[in-house]
Amino acid sequence: MKATFVAEATDGSARAGVVHTARGQFATPCFMPVGTRGAVKHLSSADLEALDAQVVLANTYHLMLRPGADVVEKLGGLHRFADWDGHTLTDSGGYQIFSLEPKVDDEGALFKSTYDGSRHKLTPESAAEIQAQIGADIQMVLDVCPPLPSPRGVIETAVERTAAWAERGRAAFLAGPTVDRQHQFGIVQGGTDVDLRRRSAERTTAVDFDGYAIGGLSVGEDRSDTGPALAAVTELLPADQPRYFMGLGDPVGIVEAVARGVDMFDCVLPTRLARHGTMLTSTGRMNLTRAEFATSTDPIDPGTPDSPVARWSRGYLRHLLQVKEPTAPRLLTLHNLHWLFGFVADVRASIVAGQFDAFRQHVHGVWDA
């Protein structure tokens, strides 16, 4: 079966709805925390349940190396492995092509393991097969994500290779054993070049995936260049299938992508910020390591009274950070994810109420300051 998107409300191009999958459904807009190695750093599946997370990511590259996709499969697949009943999504390893700079040719990408130096070839076919073993609800096709800025020729090569890999990866998925219980998303590349974005979108949708992701943005380009490139893609994607912006997690970026018709987001931002003491609040970012908070009795965010850390003062939480108490990154991660889940719920509510533009302006007023 295909993953489908059913709109419950629209406000301009912004849409709130439900994605239906073989596992069940989840509401959009949806933020998905990143659990690279089968866990969101410092959190358990029980924590994610308490936070009402809907979809959690894992990473194909890392799980195929440690503990190995065959081990995850023997332990019941990703859901049983992590004891997580919600939705899961696995990246294909395409981000590691961007971040680790392996040797890439038309066949695939040759990686040197970050763990022991061993070499591993990832192809569109093996990426689909490995993700079938891991067993996430949604798997991503293998793609090439060029850094920005890059010469047009580099981006064009990435578009052509991504398109060729899309056909191969889709064929492997459709011939695989999990086609009735997994979904596969295609990925659109093209940098900030509108024409290349359109070409990639047309090539990708022609393959007929179960959903579509926008990759290769929020990777170093100026934000003013992101919007036109994104709009060029979303207007060509099927309206009845989910749209996913890969690697985006800041409030302004999310509302701008929602304004252009995007449904799903993931990013390490909220969890990485938390580990370094930066909090997401109703008045913007707060660097809790600053000395001014040493004796503060205020909660992290009075505007979020239901935060998992609302019972503790800024001064106490800052102390935990200063002495490197392991409890600190866990508590602050809980807060940042709770805050961001609440934020996307507010985005959804503003669309349903027909007040998205006002909400969008409010977000800019807080986060552009």
- The model carries a pTM of 0.97
Looking at residue 94, what is its pLDDT? 84
What is the C-alpha separation between 101 and 285, in angstroms, rounded?
A: 32
- Lowest pLDDT segment from 129-138, 197-206, 221-230: 221-230
Q: How many Cβ atoms sit within 10 Å of the Cβ of residue 326? A: 8
List pLDDT tens digits, range 73-125: 999 999 999 999 999 999 998 889 888 989 999 999 998 998 999 999 999 99
For the cut 80, the answer to whether the pLDDT of residue 212 exceeds it is: yes
Looking at residue 30, what is its pLDDT? 98
Residues 134-142, mean pLDDT to the nearest whole number:
98
User: Binning pLDDT at 50, 70 and 90, where does residue 39 land?
Assistant: very high
Higher pLDDT residue, 275 or 101? 275
For the cut 90, the answer to whether the pLDDT of residue 208 exceeds it is: yes
Mean pLDDT for the chain overall? 97
Looking at residue 220, what is its pLDDT? 84
For the cut 80, the answer to whether the pLDDT of residue 167 exceeds it is: yes
For the cut 80, the answer to whether the pLDDT of residue 241 exceeds it is: yes
What percentage of the chain carries pLDDT values higher than 90?
Answer: 94
Which sign does the torsion angle of CA 336, 38, 230, 157 carry? Answer: positive
Residues 146-153, mean pLDDT to the nearest whole number:
94
Residues 4-18, mean pLDDT to the nearest whole number:
98
Residues 129-140, mean pLDDT to the nearest whole number:
98
What is the C-alpha separation between 68 and 66, in angstroms, rounded?
A: 5
All structural domains of the chain, each given as residue ranges with its CATH number in brackets, are: 30-266 (3.20.20.105), 274-367 (no CATH)
Active site (catalytic) residues: 91, 266
